[in-house]
Homo-oligomer: A and B are copies of this chain.
Amino acid sequence: MSPRKTASQELTRELIIQKARTQFVEKGFQQVSMRNIAKELGCSHGAIYYHFKNKAELFYAVVEDDFSILNNLIEDSIQGPEDDSTKLSNLLLRFIEFGLNHQSQYEIMFMVRNTEVDSLSQEAANLCYQKFAQTVQSLSTKQLKIIDVWSAFIALHGFVSHYRGYVDRFDEAELAAKSHVQFIIKGLL
């Protein structure tokens, strides 16, 4: 009840992010409230606002790491012994896999509009797309049209944003995903 907690149980930025993440992954952005997170942390909701400007900023902090996870995932897809064509399929498939196995995060990363996170999240999303585009091009023998790569991305995004909430995990949509990836590759080449 004291207006300042003893040092051992002080609130960390990281501690908040951590608890926010678990709540958030379970319920999604809208369903999680600051008071909810505060209760989980055993502090008042006001305290969170000392560490984060608002809800949007907190959830961008959560999602920041996920952007680098996804970026690594994209980068890593050029590694390995398979031929480029397989690598390309895998890249597209893995994007979908990420999206469907991290639905709450994907929502903020690529779907949420209108909040103040936008500027930050939008920039990270752009960078992520650039990495995607580069990688796709590097896995193709012929020079791809830049706008076709964009269409491929949009088509992937369509898959994730449709199946999100409709399936719980990637596995449940794996067949459709594989087929969709083939569809996209046909359009790409």
Stretch at the interface among A52-60, A81-89, A132-140, A158-166: A158-166
21 A-B interface contacts by CB (under 8 A): A111-B161, A113-B165, A114-B165, A147-B179, A148-B179, A151-B155, A151-B179, A151-B180, A151-B183, A151-B184, A152-B183, A154-B155, A154-B162, A154-B180, A155-B183, A157-B162, A158-B159, A183-B187, A184-B187, A186-B186, A186-B187
Is A67 interfacial (CB 8 A cutoff)? no
Taking the full assembly, how many copies of this chain does it contain?
2
A164 CB contact (under 8 Å) in B28, B113, B165: B113
A162 to B158, CA, bound (A): 8
Rounded to whole Å, the gap between the CB of A133 and the closest CB of chain B is: 14
CB atoms of B158 and A176 under 8 A apart? no
Quick check: is A20 within 8 A (CB to CB) of the other chain? Answer: no
Shortest 9 CB-CB distances between A and B: which pairs?
A158-B158, A113-B165, A151-B183, A155-B155, A187-B187, A186-B187, A183-B187, A154-B158, A157-B158
A154: contacting residue among B151, B159, B187, CB under 8 A: B159
The count of chain A contact residues (Cβ–Cβ below 8 Å) is 29
Task: Looking at the assembled complex, report how far the CB atom of A4 sits from the nearest CB atom of chain B, in whole angstroms.
Answer: 36
Question: What's the least CB distance linking A105 to chain B, in Å?
Answer: 16
Counting CB contacts under 8 A, is A156 at the interface? yes
- Residue pair B156, A176 in contact (C-beta under 8 Å): no
